[in-house]
């Protein structure tokens, strides 16, 4: 498996520094947060995108995916959501990334069936554009669809090879699924896996990998046993937790921890 980290853990950091951190600590790639406060986002020019792609390639670092903030199940008109997904797909393509992350974002104003149908329709409308650019749109296990079972209700109906699942291992665990249950549900659709660690179900402040309660060893064991050979991406949510430790000093020990889990599972 390849290792990556999300730039959500180092908000606003310039591309050369992201490349340096990844290369220094032995990560194969990065997940780029596509937000206006980041150096690369939907308003980045063609020249900026090309320069970033060149910088990552020169450093031997892959751009795993672009983490967008579209909520595909939320109430409202389809057009803005689909347009933004298509723009995210184009950004990912320009950066050489294979994936785009979107959220479910269903609301209590809807029934579960309505939220599912809305997400299915919008993903379907964006899927052909993604296919034409060689990018997959991944629905993250999050908020209204935090379990593997919930996410696959949507993805099974969309039924398009250019859509899939991003397994956020914290949310499936908080939703009551064990790692094997989540994997079995998500396996036909799985794009990549986000790992992280937290203190407890009530305190989701990010911690160094291995310092909290999430069953990361079980996740890696299941993936290894099932022969899955994709990406493990560390999402350290420093952006939302000002008191959390800085990510940069944790990157080296984090990579070592994940390699140890992989060696033990093998």
Is residue 51 scored above 90 in pLDDT? yes
Q: Could you report the per-residue pLDDT of 53-67, keeping only the tens digit for each? A: 999 999 999 999 999
Q: What is the pLDDT of residue 23?
A: 98
266 class by beta-carbon count within 10 Å (0-12 exposed, 13-18 middle, 19+ buried): exposed
Q: Could you report the per-residue pLDDT of 171-215, keeping only the tens digit for each? A: 999 999 999 999 999 999 999 999 999 999 999 999 999 999 999
Distance in angstroms (rounded) separating the CA atoms of residues 114 and 31: 31
Q: Could you report the per-residue pLDDT of 130-186, keeping only the tens digit for each? A: 999 999 999 999 999 999 999 999 999 999 999 999 999 999 999 999 999 999 999
| Domain annotation for the chain: domains and CATH numbers | 2-265 (3.20.20.150)
Per-residue pLDDT band for 7 (boundaries 50, 70, 90) equals very high
Q: What is the pLDDT of residue 109?
A: 87
Q: Could you report the per-residue pLDDT of 208-259, keeping only the tens digit for each? A: 999 999 999 999 999 999 999 999 999 999 999 989 999 999 999 999 999 9
The torsion of the CA quartet 175, 179, 1, 237, rounded to 10 degrees, works out to 30
DSSP 146: -
Q: Could you report the per-residue pLDDT of 74-110, keeping only the tens digit for each? A: 999 999 999 999 999 999 999 999 999 999 999 988 9
Which pair of tokens denotes residue 74? Answer: 């939320």
Q: What is the pLDDT of residue 201?
A: 95
Q: What is the pLDDT of residue 97?
A: 98
Which pair of tokens denotes residue 259? Answer: 């390699």
Q: What is the DSSP string of 201-246?
A: SS---B--TTSSSS-HHHHHHHHHHTT---EEEE---GGG-TTSPP
Please tell me the total number of residues recorded for the chain in this structure. 266
């Amino acid at each position: 498996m390849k290792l990556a980290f999300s730039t959500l853990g180092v908000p606003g950091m310039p591309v050369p520094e992201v490349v340096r951190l990844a290369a220094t600590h032995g990560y194969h790639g990065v997940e780029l947060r596509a937000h206006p406060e980041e150096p690369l986002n939907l308003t980045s020019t063609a020249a900026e995108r090309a320069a970033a792609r060149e910088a990552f390639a020169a450093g031997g670092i892959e751009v795993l995916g672009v983490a967008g903030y579209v909520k595909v199940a939320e109430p409202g008109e389809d057009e803005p959501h689909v347009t933004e997904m298509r723009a995210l797909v184009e950004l990912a393509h320009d950066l050489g990334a294979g994936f785009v992350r979107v959220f479910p974002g269903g609301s209590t104003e809807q029934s579960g069936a309505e939220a599912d149908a809305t997400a299915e329709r919008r993903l379907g409308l964006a899927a052909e554009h993604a296919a034409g650019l060689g990018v997959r749109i991944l629905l993250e296990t999050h908020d209204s669809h935090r379990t593997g079972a919930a996410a696959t209700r949507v993805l099974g109906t969309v039924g398009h090879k250019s859509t899939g699942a991003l397994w956020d291992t914290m949310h499936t665990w908080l939703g009551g699924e064990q790692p094997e249950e989540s994997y079995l549900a998500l396996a036909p659709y799985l794009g990549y896996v986000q790992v992280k660690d937290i203190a407890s179900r009530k305190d989701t402040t990010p911690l160094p990998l291995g310092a909290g309660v999430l069953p990361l060893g079980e996740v890696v064991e299941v993936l290894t046993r099932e022969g899955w050979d994709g990406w493990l991406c560390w999402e350290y949510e420093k952006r939302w937790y000002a008191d959390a430790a800085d990510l940069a000093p944790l990157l080296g020990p984090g990579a070592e921890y994940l390699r140890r889990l992989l060696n033990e599972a093998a």
